Chains A and B, each alone.
Chain A
Amino acid sequence: GAVVSQHPSRVICKSGTSVKIECRSLDFQATTMFWYRQFPKKSLMLMATSNEGSKATYEQGVEKDKFLINHASLTLSTLTVTSAHPEDSSFYICSARDISGVRTDTQYFGPGTRLTVL
Chain B
Amino acid sequence: TQLLEQSPQFLSIQEGENLTVYCNSSSVFSSLQWYRQEPGEGPVLLVTVVTGGEVKKLKRLTFQFGDARKDSSLHITAAQPGDTGLYLCAGFPDNYGQNFVFGPGTRLSVLP
Contacts and interface: CB of A to CB of B under 8 A. Distances in A.
Interface of A: 1, 4, 6, 32, 34, 41-44, 46, 49, 91, 93, 95, 103, 105-112, 114
A46 B100 contact: yes
A43 B35 CA distance: 11
Contact of A103 (B35, B40, B48, B107): B48
Contacts of B35: 109
Contacts of A46: 99-102
Interface of B: 30-31, 33, 35, 40-45, 48, 50, 86, 88, 90-92, 98-105, 107
A10 to B, nearest CB: 9
A111 B48 contact: no
B103 to A, nearest CB: 7
A110 B42 contact: yes
Contacts of A43: 86, 88, 102-105
A57 to B, nearest CB: 8
A50 to B, nearest CB: 12
A106 B48 contact: yes
B43 A93 contact: yes
Nearest to A41: B107
Contacts of A107: 33, 45, 90, 100
A93 B31 contact: no
Given A43-B103, A46-B99, A49-B98, A109 B42 contact: yes
Most chain A CB atoms below 10 A, which of B45, B99, B100? B100
A105 B53 CA distance: 19
B30 A105 contact: yes
Contacts of A112: 40-42
Given A105-B30, A106-B48, A108-B45, A44 B98 contact: no
17 contacts: A4-B42, A6-B42, A43-B102, A43-B104, A43-B105, A44-B43, A46-B99, A91-B40, A95-B42, A105-B91, A106-B48, A108-B45, A109-B35, A109-B44, A109-B45, A112-B41, A114-B40
A91 B39 CA distance: 10
